[in-house]
Structure 1
Amino acid sequence: MTTFGIIGAGNIGSQVARAVIALGHDVVIANSRDPETLSALIDDLGPSARAATAREAGAAGDVVVVTVPFGKYKDVPVEPLAGKIVLDTDNYYWERDGRFGELDRGEATTSGLLQQHLPSSKVVKAFNHITAAAITTDGSPSGTPGRRALVVSSDHPDAVAFAIELYDRIGFDAVDVSPLSESWRVERDRPAYVVRQDRAELEANLAKATRTI
């Protein structure tokens, strides 16, 4: 059993929590407010979940999921996540997050910036190009024709392997676009973003992507 620390209790964070709890794991989940504000969500998730602060969730997690608005990524606590695999679901929406020139110019990636912020962690891009509800409803057994595929990307092979296995257990194939410098291929507005696609279709859409839009 693995404990997942989830920093961000919005739609994606809540659905990842449901998915990993269904696999038999525990969850410690945080939002940007007080843990007490998560009481209804914890009641819904059941006894395998508890609420905490972001720092506490990061410290408790064997693996940590970061799913906060991208503009707040520097608020993610650094020290509690050191040495841990960090699943990064974040996407850049400048209308919400403010402008990041290095992203607008195609000089950086969202997950690469999080990796810089968490230099001792093993950041892997995951769950960023799927709608929240589909995380728990769109999976299917391995080998199913047309099985949905999702991207992983990391500078750390063990983080990639973990994410691929997690995807498979939840019900998804995986396409690896490591290292993180290539993860722009599945960022917002690219052909592979929030589209239901099998492995071959995802590979084709990733190949169609252009660096700036």
Structure 2
Amino acid sequence: MGDAEFTPLSALQHYLYCPRQCALIHVEQQWAENRQTAEGRLLHDRVDLPKTQRRPGVRCVTAMPLADAALGIGGIADVVEFHARADGAVETPFPVEYKRGRPKAHRADEVQLCAQALCLEAMLNVPVPAGALFYGQTRRRQDVTFDDALRQLTLQTIAAVRAMLGVGQTPSARYEARRCDACSLIDICQPHLLSRANGVQAWIARHLQESV
């Protein structure tokens, strides 16, 4: 598989946040920055350079490339901790993803992290049962268990994203204040304007159908 055939791990998080945002970024190659994305970039600066550090019982690798050719996904893990086992068996990988803000009601961050675990399992042929999300606003880790439900949601999201990117079509806009007002792409997306346009088109189509 060439690099272009791999779906970026970040696209899974973008898709669950908003399919249109995902397409604008990964199909149309659009990007804009706001305060939230700038804070996220600064938070990632400490883990953007590949290096290995050790502390008792743990080996930490930052900016680790990941891929699963069978699933067609790939990207860079912020941190992968390799925890030593008391029985001397192979170290257990433990991915850690850095996020600005605080834990969210949706599972987009968890799916991105679980996809990293799937890549690690494919690459290293060892089980990866758990990982963690580190949130910059709370300065705390949130442990994530990769149970069957999360793995199934992750696989479904991978399939949906790859299908959308394969078609290469950007979904229509629909304004939702809580989601859209925080998005750095709001001026490119124009959800207020395009949502009204979609409403007008639907009204015209409905009336044309009624007149036939």
Q: Which TM-score band applies after superposition, normalised by the shorter structure?
A: under 0.3
> What TM-score do the two structures reach when normalised by structure 2?
0.27
> What TM-score do the two structures reach when normalised by structure 1?
0.27
Q: Which has the larger radius of gyration?
A: 2
**Greater RCO structure (CA 8 Å; 6+ sep):** 2
- Whose strand fraction is larger, Structure 1's or Structure 2's? 2
